[in-house]
């Protein structure tokens, strides 16, 4: 049996006035909307990873105490297995903007009931499960 690569990630559901923050990917990166976040690096914990990624991608500073775990996704593909921790937050410092312009062309706010059509399938799945109050879900993508 082939070995699967295991990736552990953290993502942010950031709220402001009933809307959530999404990043619009550049065309070479898919051109879809996604949540702030990324890989948890070696010797890093989920919250500190998300704090780092939020500053790198969206120019905002988060505090660990303001992050609440709201969903865990296990996603299996033919190449890898992912565990993704989704945290929500309502507080941050700084001006929201797309900082990694080679990856994301915009940072935009959307109401939960009017998410963009070109939201990544994974984020669409997670937002549906999260809104139902499910703490855990799975995706098999093969």
What is residue 2's predicted lDDT score, i.e. its pLDDT?
Answer: 56
> Which helix or strand (DSSP H or E) is residue 10 part of?
strand 5-16
pLDDT (tens digit per residue) in 34-75: 999 999 999 999 999 999 999 999 999 999 999 999 999 999
> Which residues form the domain of 131?
5-141
CATH code assigned at 102: 3.90.79.10
Confidence of residue 123 (pLDDT cuts 50, 70, 90): very high
The b/e string for 104-120 (b: 16+ C-beta within 10 A; e otherwise) is beebeeeeeeebeeebe
Residue-averaged pLDDT of the chain: 95
Q: What is the DSSP letter of 118?
A: T
Number of domains in the chain: 1
């Amino acid at each position: 049996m082939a070995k699967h690569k295991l990736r552990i990630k953290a993502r942010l559901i950031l709220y402001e006035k009933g809307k959530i923050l999404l990043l619009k990917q550049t065309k070479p990166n898919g051109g879809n909307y996604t949540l702030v976040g990324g890989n948890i690096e070696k010797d890093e914990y989920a919250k500190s990873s998300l704090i780092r990624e939020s500053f790198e991608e969206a120019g905002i500073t988060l505090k660990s105490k303001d992050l609440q775990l709201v969903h865990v996704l296990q996603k299996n593909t033919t190449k890898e297995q992912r565990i993704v921790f989704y945290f929500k937050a309502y507080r941050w410092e700084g001006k929201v903007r797309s900082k990694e312009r080679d990856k994301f062309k915009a940072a935009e706010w959307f109401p939960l009931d009017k998410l963009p059509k070109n939201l990544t399938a994974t984020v669409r799945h997670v937002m549906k499960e999260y809104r139902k109050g499910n703490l855990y879900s799975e995706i098999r993508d093969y």
